[in-house]
């Protein structure tokens, strides 16, 4: 019987990304006693060193276990880590290992992961572009960048038009944001969906002002319109606007997710598969969402392994809606990591038919980009979570 013999985290990094956070990634290699290798990816988010350490802690428990026993393995970690239900580091480390185990399972059986999760619900996965508006400040900047997006065939695009405003927004700031949204809408027309990123940074009063402005431009959704912990503010927001709400990237358990579903606070659930528990828990959360008639739109702002993981689940979910995609704005080294393995054509990715995750990892690229002591920088100029060069009004 196959056993896990090693779990290795690699912190990778290189300049050339549209966002500071995306210049790093942590990949996790799981190897079995019969020589099969599975890959996962986990979050860095100002926690790169801590995440590497946490993966190594998970490894101490998982080496020697059967990679097919994903439920038992998850429960063993849950038993061991007293803080697993409230720790991003804990849930994200286990997410990467879980994904790598599913990769191993698929490769062992010679089938793509989606065939093990219910089969194919679709052959093409609708995606939306993100990361495309680096250094956009003026309305004209946004319009010119949007032209390039639609020239690639995308049917939807997401962007944050709110510049440096946090918690509150001034009248001038709201006017600047509207100019940016208007310019993009006029450029792409009514047949392209706009998705408006708020990054969970506004109080209720500011979010409502923004919502009343955005309603005129018919966005597909407003993402994280209020601070993520402000349940009361989001509840009031839901009653005061017709906008659809997307959220979920900061949720790390299915129980947390259930709170938002029961309160009817979300229309598009953006669970992140490398935070919520990997494929094992991601499938369960998607089923919960389906029972509340909520669409899935997985968060995916990092690397190509997470991208392939998301596409495997997207292929099989009955309540899939749209997938976040940085693919055409990945730095070159991230594309080379998987041999350009999940291309976007005319606004769609294709179901991946190769075994496991269906991507081939170039370990030469892994070795060439290892950071021995890397960590995300903290800048006084703009938070690391924004697309570069956009934290200003002019």
Residue 18 pLDDT greater than 70, yes or no:
no
pLDDT band per the 50, 70, 90 thresholds, residue 340: confident
Mean pLDDT for the chain overall: 95
Residue 272 pLDDT greater than 90, yes or no:
yes
Q: What is the 3-state secondary structure (H, E, C) of 49-89?
A: HHHHHHHHHHHHHHCCCCCCCHHHHHHHHHHHCCCCCCCHH
Residue 138 pLDDT greater than 70, yes or no:
yes
Give the pLDDT mean for 153-175: 98
Which of 118, 101, 99, 157 shows the shortest CA–CA distance to 307?
Answer: 99
Residue 374 resides in a domain = no
Residue 375 resides in a domain = no
The residue whose two tokens read 């056993």 is: 3
Residue 291 resides in a domain = yes
pLDDT at position 339, please?
86
231 and 100 in a common domain: no
340 and 313 in a common domain: yes
Query: Of 81, 110, 139, which closes a domain?
Result: 110
pLDDT band per the 50, 70, 90 thresholds, residue 302: confident
Q: Which helix (H) or strand (E) holds 294?
A: none
**Which structural domain, as residue segments, surrounds residue 106?**
4-110
What is the CATH classification number for the domain harbouring 233?
3.20.20.120
Give the pLDDT mean for 282-304: 96
248 and 199 in a common domain: yes
pLDDT at position 10, please?
96
231 and 292 in a common domain: yes
Q: Which helix (H) or strand (E) holds 33?
A: none
pLDDT at position 168, please?
98
345 and 310 in a common domain: yes
- In the chain, the percentage of residues whose pLDDT exceeds 90 is 90
Residue 366 resides in a domain = no
What is the CATH classification number for the domain harbouring 34?
3.30.390.10
Residue 19 pLDDT greater than 80, yes or no:
no
pLDDT at position 374, please?
59
246 and 309 in a common domain: yes
Instruction: Dihedral sign for Cα 166, 172, 174, 175, please.
Output: negative
Query: Of 87, 110, 133, which closes a domain?
Result: 110
pLDDT at position 142, please?
98
Residues with catalytic annotation? 199, 299
How many C-beta neighbours within 10 Å does residue 123 have? Answer: 10
Residue 142 resides in a domain = yes
300 and 236 in a common domain: yes
Coil, strand or helix: which one is 374? coil
pLDDT at position 24, please?
87
pLDDT at position 17, please?
63
134 and 90 in a common domain: no
Q: pLDDT tens for residues 193-248?
A: 999 999 999 999 999 999 999 999 999 999 999 999 999 999 999 999 999 999 99
200 and 343 in a common domain: yes
Which of the two residues, 377 and 117, has the higher pLDDT score? 117
Which of 249, 299, 331, 307 shows the shortest CA–CA distance to 18?
Answer: 331
273 and 135 in a common domain: yes
164 and 52 in a common domain: no
Residue 347 resides in a domain = yes
Number of structural domains found in the chain: 2
Residue 210 resides in a domain = yes
225 and 101 in a common domain: no
Query: Of 78, 110, 142, which closes a domain?
Result: 110
Residue 139 resides in a domain = yes
pLDDT at position 16, please?
61
């Amino acid at each position: 019987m196959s056993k896990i013999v090693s779990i290795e985290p690699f912190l990778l990094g290189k300049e050339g990304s549209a966002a500071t956070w995306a210049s790093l990634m942590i990949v996790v290699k799981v190897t079995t006693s019969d020589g099969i290798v599975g890959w996962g990816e986990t979050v860095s988010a100002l926690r790169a060193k801590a995440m590497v350490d946490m993966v190594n802690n998970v490894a101490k428990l998982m080496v020697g276990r059967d990679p097919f026993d994903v439920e038992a393995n998850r429960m063993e970690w849950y038993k061991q880590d007293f803080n697993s239900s409230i720790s991003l580091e804990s849930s994200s480390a286990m997410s990467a290992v879980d994904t790598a185990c599913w990769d191993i399972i698929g490769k062992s059986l010679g089938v793509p992961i989606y065939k093990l999760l219910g089969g194919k619900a679709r052959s093409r996965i609708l995606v939306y572009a993100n990361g495309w508006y680096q250094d956009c400040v003026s309305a004209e900047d946004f319009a010119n960048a949007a032209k390039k997006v639609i020239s690639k065939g995308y049917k939807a695009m997401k962007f944050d038009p709110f510049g440096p405003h946090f918690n509150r927004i001034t009248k001038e700031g709201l006017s600047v944001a509207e100019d940016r949204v208007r310019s993009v809408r006029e450029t792409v027309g009514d047949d392209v969906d706009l998705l408006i990123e708020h990054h969970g940074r506004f109080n209720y009063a500011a979010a409502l002002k923004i919502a009343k402005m955005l309603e005129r431009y018919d966005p597909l959704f407003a993402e994280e319109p209020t601070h993520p912990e402000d349940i009361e503010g989001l509840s009031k927001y839901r009653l005061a606007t017709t906008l659809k709400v997307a959220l979920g990237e900061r949720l790390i358990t299915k129980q947390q997710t259930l709170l938002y579903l029961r309160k009817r606070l979300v229309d598009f659930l953006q669970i992140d598969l490398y935070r919520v528990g990997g494929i094992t828990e991601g499938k369960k959360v998607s089923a919960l969402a389906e029972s509340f008639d909520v669409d899935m739109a997985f968060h995916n702002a990092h690397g190509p392994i997470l991208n392939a993981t998301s596409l495997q689940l997207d292929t099989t979910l009955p309540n899939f809606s749209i997938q976040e995609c940085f693919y055409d704005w990945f730095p070159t080294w991230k594309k080379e990591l998987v041999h350009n393995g999940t291309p976007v054509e005319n606004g769609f990715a294709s179901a991946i038919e190769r075994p496991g995750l269906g991507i081939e990892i170039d370990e030469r690229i892994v070795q060439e980009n290892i950071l021995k002591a890397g960590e995300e920088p903290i800048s006084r100029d703009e938070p690391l979570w924004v697309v570069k060069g956009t934290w200003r009004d002019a």
